[in-house]
């Protein structure tokens, strides 16, 4: 069973949070509320999120300051942030949002379908990354426990490699289809960059797995980074 992704909704107005939940409920993911920047940072200490929807205008710590804290933390710096704002202050204001680390910047009132579609792309990318981490963890376990009991160990290794290869192929196929869809839809640069990062990690894991196949040279390969 695939675990649901968590989406962090940050807004100081309860009615805005309620509206976001109504729009995103169709994605059937876990929606987490935060009514301030401080509350959002606390949530990010313990949970992993696929994407953050962050209101810009909030009392106390505003969206820009909250985003700066998120990007400074190693655990959270790669989480995509979509800024939401009720006021259009012009290009300088938008640039400040991108400079703070946003992958997108949407002015209220926004089109519910567009917002849902953008969030769904990041949820799908997050899911693929989780699948990739699972494949890497299995491969690491095999590398650490390899070479124990001769023929039986060889058969076990071959079987596990075949299973890993099949699982990885499924993830590769899904990622390729997603990347093609992003290209056709002229997706935002942040989304495309995230997809490219996923592809690089998939390629690294495939090379590592291929190097373990019988007849390959060079011994145990280095596994791709999970950052």
Q: By the 8 A CB rule, do 55 and 16 touch?
A: yes
3-state secondary structure of 35: coil
Q: For residues 128 and 131, give the distance between their C-alpha atoms in angstroms, rounded to a whole number.
A: 5
For residue 107, the model assigns a pLDDT of 80
Q: Where are the domains of the chain?
A: 6-110, 119-212
Dihedral angle, C-alpha 128, 63, 19, 26, nearest 10 °: 0
For residue 223, the model assigns a pLDDT of 47
Q: Where are the alpha helices (DSSP H) in 146-188?
A: 150-184
Grouped pLDDT means (10 residues each) for the chain, 227 residues: 86 94 95 96 94 92 91 89 76 60 76 90 85 73 58 59 71 70 59 67 71 53 48
Please tell me the chain's helix, strand, coil percentages from 3-state DSSP, rounded to the nearest 5. Answer: 60, 10, 30
3-state secondary structure of 215: coil
Does the pTM surpass 0.85? The reply is no
**CB neighbourhood size of 119 (10 A):** 23
Q: How far is CA 195 from CA 45, 49, 78, 112, in A?
A: 25, 16, 12, 23
For residue 12, the model assigns a pLDDT of 94
**CB neighbourhood size of 14 (10 A):** 10
**In b/e form, how buried is each residue of 84-101, taking b as 16+ CB within 10 angstroms?**
bbeeeeeeebbebbeebb
- Options 3.40.50.150, 1.10.1740.10, 3.40.50.2300, 3.40.50.1220; CATH for 6-110 is 3.40.50.2300
For residue 126, the model assigns a pLDDT of 86
For residue 217, the model assigns a pLDDT of 47
């Amino acid at each position: 069973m695939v675990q649901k992704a968590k989406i962090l909704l940050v807004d100081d107005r309860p009615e805005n949070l309620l509206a976001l939940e109504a729009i995103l409920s169709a994605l059937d993911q876990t929606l987490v509320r935060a009514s301030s920047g401080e509350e959002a940072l606390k949530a990010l200490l313990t949970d992993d999120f696929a994407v953050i929807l962050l209101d810009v205008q909030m009392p106390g710590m505003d969206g820009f300051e909250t985003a700066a804290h998120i990007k400074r933390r190693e655990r959270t710096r790669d989480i995509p942030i979509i800024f939401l704002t009720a006021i259009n202050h012009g290009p300088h204001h938008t640039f400040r949002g991108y400079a703070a680390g946003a992958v997108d910047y949407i002015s209220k009132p926004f089109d519910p379908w567009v917002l849902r579609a953008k969030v769904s792309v990041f949820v799908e990318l997050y899911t693929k990354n989780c699948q990739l981490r699972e494949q890497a963890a299995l491969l690491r376990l095999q590398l650490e426990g390899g070479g124990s009991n001769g023929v039986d160990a060889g058969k076990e290794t071959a079987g596990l490699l075949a299973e890993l290869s099949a699982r990885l192929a499924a993830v590769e196929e899904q990622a390729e289809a997603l990347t093609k869809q992003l290209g056709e839809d002229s997706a935002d640069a942040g989304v495309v960059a995230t997809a490219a990062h996923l592809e690089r990690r998939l390629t690294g894991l495939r090379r590592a797995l291929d190097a373990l196949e019988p007849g390959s040279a060079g011994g145990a390969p280095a596994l791709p980074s999970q950052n």
